[in-house]
Structure 1
Amino acid sequence: MSDLSAAQDMMTAAMAAKQNVDSELTSVTQLLKSLDRASKNVRTFGQTNSVGKKFFEQFYAELATHLSQYNILTFVVQREGLFFKEEIVYGSQTGEASENFAFKLYSDGIREITFHQDISSDDMLFFFAALSGTVGTAGTEDDDIVTRLWEKNLPTLTIVTADEVMKISELDDVLGPQGAAPLETSLRDILADANAKEAKGANEAQQRKTRFSSGVTGYEVSELELAALAKEIAAESSRDNVLYILDTLTVILSSEQSSDLLNKLFDIYDGMLKSLIQEGRWSTTEHVLELLSKADAFRPDLTEGHKQKIQRLFERLGTPEIVAMIENYLNTVDRPRTDGLPTIFLMMQPTAAPALCTLLGNLEQPAHQTLVVNALMELAKDSPEILVKHLTDRRPTFVRNLLMVITRWNNPRLAENVEKILRYPDPLIRREVIRTLATLRPSGSATKLIHMLNDPDEGVRLAALKSLLTGHYSAPFSNWEPLVNAETFGDRPPAERRNIFHAMRTTTGDEAIPYWTSLLTEWGWTNKKKREELAFMATDALGKLGTPAARTALETGAIKGTTAVKQACAAILAGTSKHPRTA
């Protein structure tokens, strides 16, 4: 029985350990996603930008929480990506850009990286800067990541390099964690043990160095190692050809001395950008454009002709040809990618605004239209006439998006252009026009808004009344007279007629009192109910107006009106006597 109890205890402990590893692995996976986002946004917007700060602070908080629970975070860096306790948690081709976290570390010779519990936010910001190559004053240093980290000598961030690993031949099996035995310790610990044995095994190593009688240096390769090599070759062969080409072009750009070849290289970049845009590979496109924008930093010897070629690459981004490629991808591909596309839009020149207007009108999905609206907000703000000329377009969705941009600009000079489409065929657009005018011109003449009260669409009339009731507009009673004296005025809904009277009160003041007085004293046997309804509404408006002339009108109604009107006027007069209106 004791043996059974012991076995049960062992199984319980093993299951608890597995759950702990699973929770730690989940935490690491989420942490790497946050690191990827934070690194990209800090690189794109800078450490001082609010967007970059937001993503970095979120990542650092998650890192601090993880380290407080697990003390240390160690990754083995391989060509395939980052390994954490034998599990690959971040691929070297994650996303579309080749220069991601794992790729950069592996390319610069780092084979293990460890984050310690007391790492500060400044240390992490330095690490991000080291990854993007901007640690110097001008951000133009040519040192690799290893050199930058060694120079800083951070105690909270340690690394093991490929040189350190390769010095100890006994570590060969460690370099393929997916096919080797489980690692119980980090590469740093293994290196320490191996260095202690180095002196003892020096003679054996020398003998192994020259195994062939011909004097050619060779290595014994076991079946297991051969299989691992074959697996690596297969993985390398399956890698995206475009990324291979971009890596090759980057090497040429950084080292080629021939001016003619550099000119041809920029022509190749032009073709590559078009190909990437056609396929919707926005993140890779962004990476290439960022590289080209910094070309004169790591190649200060570029001629003016080379710099002009690079400039033309950016100018071509906003040409109708390129924008048409973006439109074709977004409208024809099932579930098109948009990550990175907003950055591409913002990299365009202001001259791209006409082509982006055309794109906005042709896009089918609202989410895609929003991306273009945000881009036009920035690119066309200095030349709003480009947008304004499209307001007469007969596509309501397109016009509504243009009005959204104009409203956000809040440029009063554009109010006259917006007023020209007050009679737009679509009632939803007419409502939006009134709302836009309320933003661009929040006060002034109410004439055009009064005219909109004859619109056949009730929503348009309500939008106009809402603006008129703010009390910021003015108009003479003569503008209201055709509306309230029309034979159809009494057929409007009661709530609308009441609001019209209050809009008259806020825009004309005492000028409307003679009209309301006539309603209070009017007698007749026909349409008595409608006349009394209007009279009651007039008493309400006069009571809210509260001027001496309004009080005199109510007194007149209390004497000359019908019985019901007399009672209504007397009640309002009594109420104003108890609660006199104050200035």
Structure 2
Amino acid sequence: MSGNSVIDIQKVNEVKDLIVSFVKMKRAQRIYLPNNEILQKLHIELVHKFKKFFISEEKLSLMITPTDLFYEKQLVYSNPDRAESLAFQLYSNGINNLVFYRGVEDRELFDLISILNIDMLDEDSLEDDIVTLMWSREFNFIEYSIRDDYYLPAQQGNDIFEFINKKEISEQGNERSDLEFDPEEFEPPPVIPHNEVALTDEEIENIRAEIEYEDENALQIGMLDVLLELLFQERDQEEQARLSMIIEKFLMALFYEGNLRILNALLMRFNEHINGVFSSSDIIRALYEKIISLLSNGENISELINMLNSTYHQGLNDVLLFLSNLRKDIVPLLLNKLVDLKHIAYRRVFCEAIAQNGYDYVDMIGSRLNSSSEPIIKDIIYILGKVKNPKALDYLYKAMKFPSRELRLEAVSSIGRYREENSEKYLVEALLDPDLDVRTAALRNIVAHGSYQTVNSLINFIGTEGFMNKSQQEKKRFFMALAKLAGPALVGFLEDVIINKKYPSIQIENEMKISAIAALEMIGDHNALMVLRKAKGVCRQPVTDYIENAIKSILK
């Protein structure tokens, strides 16, 4: 067996082990609270395995079928149980290829698993499927492609970087498409034991506890309905005051007990009533506003943080929903309290709450970039990307110049969430960053959101010495991005790169021409084919080999 074969087998086994960790982490996130030691251990283990894999690889590409995952045509995961199968969950949502790139962040892995778990909770209650949720998340180092026969509209050019190593798939004339897959007729392959994920006795007990919890929830809502009805019908002022005090103490007691889930349900019910059956009652509306003000004051926010920092933990969604119920002018208080939170997961939830109401507080938020704490600065950059106020771009541009690679990467990701003229200009400038991961993130955001006007800036950049000194792979990615943005209008420029331009060395000349050939292959129209045939007569080896392969690919 050759050395390469040994390496391939090792990599396949490494991917199998990585996916086992991914599935375990996915299951654990559904069961445990965010700061549970088991969940944290599994998260660290998963991140470590990804980093180990990317020491020698640029990307991890998984082909997806209804029951299986394949890496380099090798089976690395199989589970015929549709209720638990990672493969079936992805495939049934239209995803037939999932790619992780070197530099994938801990947060992106956590968010991806969270999206998969959201999808599994209650399909009937979801407005968005996995694809929409992943699209809205705007991952920098995770990409996916959609089945041609999926019911969603085709996503043109969804993964241009994958195109570099694209495998040609022959079309089958009259065979049934994957869309016609019938689970009742499907003969599942043997179950691979190491991919089985069974519920433990403890997890079964947790599920039972959840059912009991929901019953208690309904009881509490019924009590609130009765109390509000009594208050609505009461005309005696003293009795109104007494009932109001009972309702206030009832809700505040739930807060002090740390029972945020039930408290959220009751606040939502209360809000429904003041906008519905009790909308004519000034007393009930005033009581609701008083309770929200009490929950929003500094003392109670500090109490919430003490809960989150203690051994008693809350679900992330419960905390976010609670913060969303509070007063809209609470942003300055939450900003001041960020530093008091010990756990990054809860800090990020506070960031989401700040961003929800932070549009008018951009300058206050931006001023926190002067903090001495790098984790807090990273959170502020994240918030600035979420507030969707164009003024935030000036602060994000400042963050793009920070010495810390992690902060610059976060800044580029946040800038990529905007669709403003300045955001494209800043992303083009980020292509000069000294770190490859930052440059790659900038290029991905340009491809995802850039406009035709960006093309001229990119073309000018290609002519610089800095671009000439980049690696072959980075040059190729850049030309592919340019082809994605400009399309057939770029053919003339690519012809000039291959046939007419002069370069400082043979190596740079070959790299530039090979990159331009890949872009022409991606464009793939008649004019691109004519340029390739013309170039074949004037270029030398090894460039001509790439030209021949590109011509064959286009003709297919």
TM-score band by shorter chain is 0.3 to 0.5
Q: Give TM-score scaled by structure 1 length.
A: 0.44
Q: Which protein is bigger by CA-based radius of gyration?
A: 1
TM-score of the pair, normalised by structure 2: 0.46
Higher relative contact order (CA 8 A, sep 6+): 2
